[in-house]
Amino acid sequence: MRRLLRAAAAAAVAVALCGQALAQDYPTRTVTLIVPYPPGGGVDAMARVVAEKLAGALGQQVVVDNRAGGSGLIGTRVVIKSAPDGYTLFLGHTGSIAINPSSTPMPASIPARTSHPSG
């Protein structure tokens, strides 16, 4: 029991001496939400609702960027080629995330191999 108390006391002292670890501020600029379909569709409508809620939660502007064409491949490739910094997000559906990669031989269109999860 004494060992446990000593270890707990040592851990408490170590934590107090280390101070606070400060995380980087995120976001510090506008976040872009890429939608690989044209404006006015179901995915676009959902993206606008998500962008509004996300902007409120983050305290930063979230812009919906529709990149239609190629059954969603154009928008998907924009996201795949973007920097993995968390400022470019993607909102698609099974067509752009699962079906296109299995039917397109180009490796640049496979989100699971080239993208990074957020959160």
DSSP states of 16-54: HHH-PPPPPPS-SS-EEEEESS-TTSHHHHHHHHHHHHH
Residues 6+ apart with CB under 8 A from 43: 35, 36, 37, 91, 92, 93
**Would you state the structure tokens that stand for residue 64, as one six-digit string?**
């919906």
- The answer to whether residue 90 sits within a structural domain is yes
* pLDDT for 18: 63
Q: Which domain holds residue 74?
A: 31-114
- The answer to whether residue 21 sits within a structural domain is no
C-alpha pair distances (Å), 96 with each of 8, 36, 66, 87, 92: 51, 8, 13, 20, 6
- The answer to whether residue 16 sits within a structural domain is no
* pLDDT for 73: 84
* pLDDT for 52: 95
C-alpha pair distances (Å), 8 with each of 4, 13, 26, 50, 62: 6, 9, 34, 44, 44
- The answer to whether residue 24 sits within a structural domain is no
> Domains in the chain: how many in total?
1
* pLDDT for 35: 94
- The answer to whether residue 13 sits within a structural domain is no
* pLDDT for 112: 54
* pLDDT for 8: 63
CATH number at residue 49: 3.40.190.150
For 41-68, write each residue's pLDDT tens digit: 999 999 999 999 999 999 999 999 999 9
Q: Which residues of the chain have pLDDT under 50?
A: 109
- The answer to whether residue 101 sits within a structural domain is yes
- The answer to whether residue 62 sits within a structural domain is yes
- The answer to whether residue 53 sits within a structural domain is yes
Secondary structure letter of residue 96 according to DSSP: I
